[in-house]
Amino acid sequence: MIFNPINMDNWPRKPYFDHYLNQVRCTYSVTANIDITQLRLEVKSKGMKMYPVLIHMLTTVVNQHREFRTCFDLDGRLGFWDRMSPSFTIFHDDDQTFSSIWTLYSEDFDVFYNRYLDDMSRYGNVKGFMTKPNEPPNTFSISSIPWVSFTGFNLNIYNEATYLLPIFTIGKFFEQDGKILLPLSGQFHHAVCDGYHAGVLYNELQLRADTCEHWLLHR
């Protein structure tokens, strides 16, 4: 993992960053439905788990755009990671608590899927907030609320709003007009990405869902 500092003097986004971080500090949420009709068919036919498939799909799109990898490092420098890995929540049925686990990302879906299964085997039944040790700094957050097909979702983060990475929340998929739709909420910081960038992300997620047979080919 490589952190690339941003030279503010040569950064075209500098006036927008300054405005939305220092003048009118602003985060925003976008919730949209992803059509996963074809994706669900492929996942079911291959006997796979849907959650890691969605995690891989999200991480792949995040890694294609610098805006979603831009943050402050531990030394307070602004920059962007060359690659992100997902940190995701899992639910414990017996006591209704959750834990957060991270899995090292790979573009190769098979590699990532097997890493996910290995992490779940090792840490899936371990109780606690963050149960897999040594989480690297280049992770972003994904959570799931599989009990609610929500139409909107908003996080309120009280850390002076300087957390710049996106946070995603997956809802319960539902059927409508013969399609299977998945609510997906993204929390973004306006200092590093605008509505355009969020729109690109959702459109690319839909494209990956529609063409899933290509990247799920080997399972």
Mean pLDDT computed over 165-174: 98
Mean pLDDT computed over 69-87: 97
8 Å CB contact between 67 and 61: no
The residues facing 92 across adjacent strands are 97
CA 118/CA 3 separation, integer angstroms: 27
pLDDT greater than 60 at residue 90: yes
Q: What is the pLDDT of residue 219?
A: 52
In the chain, what percentage of residues exceed pLDDT 70? 99
CA 192/CA 140 separation, integer angstroms: 15
Catalytic residues: 190
